Amino acid sequence: MGDSAPSLLHHCHAHKLWGLINRTYSFLNFVALLAIFYYRGAFFFNENDPKYYMVPFLPWVTVSAAELVSSFLWVLKEPFFWFPVTRTVFPESLPKDPDLPGIDVFVCTADPEKEPTFGVMNTVVSAMALDYPAEKLSVYLSDDGGASVTLMGMKEAWAFATWWLPFCRRWNVKPICPQSYFERPEEESQNMEFIEDRNTIKEKYEAFKQRVERKWRTELETDTKRSAQNHPAIIQGYSI
């Protein structure tokens, strides 16, 4: 890769030949579309042609509208193929952990009825499980609706994360979203230690899910006065 390769984070290679072929193909298709639209337009405005009164009007209009919509969608899609590129990444060029900058992850929600709290908490836990130095990663959850279930859910998410994060890092778990991980079929493994850890984490996950969803249902039934415009301000921090 040369002396400069270690300093590169990624390399972008443009496929000029494929780009030329795709643009030529697009041009030929565009000419064909113009011919079709000319034919359709000529038919509509040529009342002297005997065929004008022989063809049913509604099917002709329907077909013309379908062609127009399909052509519009094709025009929107085709430019993505004009400049095909291939990217190569160099993870080994990333700076060491002490040199990485701090990052902030913001998760926003507003209405627990439209955005179920358990799904929001899965997003928060996933952000906390990112492969990044823990001391340089901050995750913020903003609830514009000020729902008490969000605060309670955050406490539960923090408690579950103390189990989930070590499990992810120890066994290099993918995906790092607990909901996605436990909803897919269990992977086969002969490592009894991993199986025991996974079963333990799954029990913690099910308990976490039940507590959050129980509180969420209660919140929707009872806390009807709280809204995005009428709620107390609450700020609370957690550290793992």
Show binding-site residues for UDP-alpha-D-glucose: 114-115, 144
Instruction: List Cβ neighbours of 148 (8 Å cut-off, separation of 6 or more).
Output: 219, 223, 226
The total of other beta-carbon atoms located within 10 Å of residue 10's CB is 10
Instruction: List Cβ neighbours of 26 (8 Å cut-off, separation of 6 or more).
Output: 78, 81, 82
Task: Please check whether residue 177 is in contact with residue 126, taking contact to mean a CB–CB distance below 8 angstroms.
Answer: yes
Question: Which CA distances in Å does 95 have to 11, 82, 100, 101, 131?
Answer: 17, 34, 6, 9, 14
Summarize the annotated binding site as residue ranges. Answer: 114-115, 144
Strand 137-143 and strand 103-109: the pairing is parallel
Task: Please check whether residue 45 is in contact with residue 60, taking contact to mean a CB–CB distance below 8 angstroms.
Answer: no
Residue indicated by tokens 């605060």: 151
Task: Please check whether residue 228 is in contact with residue 148, taking contact to mean a CB–CB distance below 8 angstroms.
Answer: no
Residue indicated by tokens 């193909």: 25
- CB-facing half-sphere around the CA of 156: CA atoms within 13 A: 25
Residue indicated by tokens 């836990």: 125
Task: Please check whether residue 113 is in contact with residue 220, taking contact to mean a CB–CB distance below 8 angstroms.
Answer: yes
3-state secondary structure of 30: helix
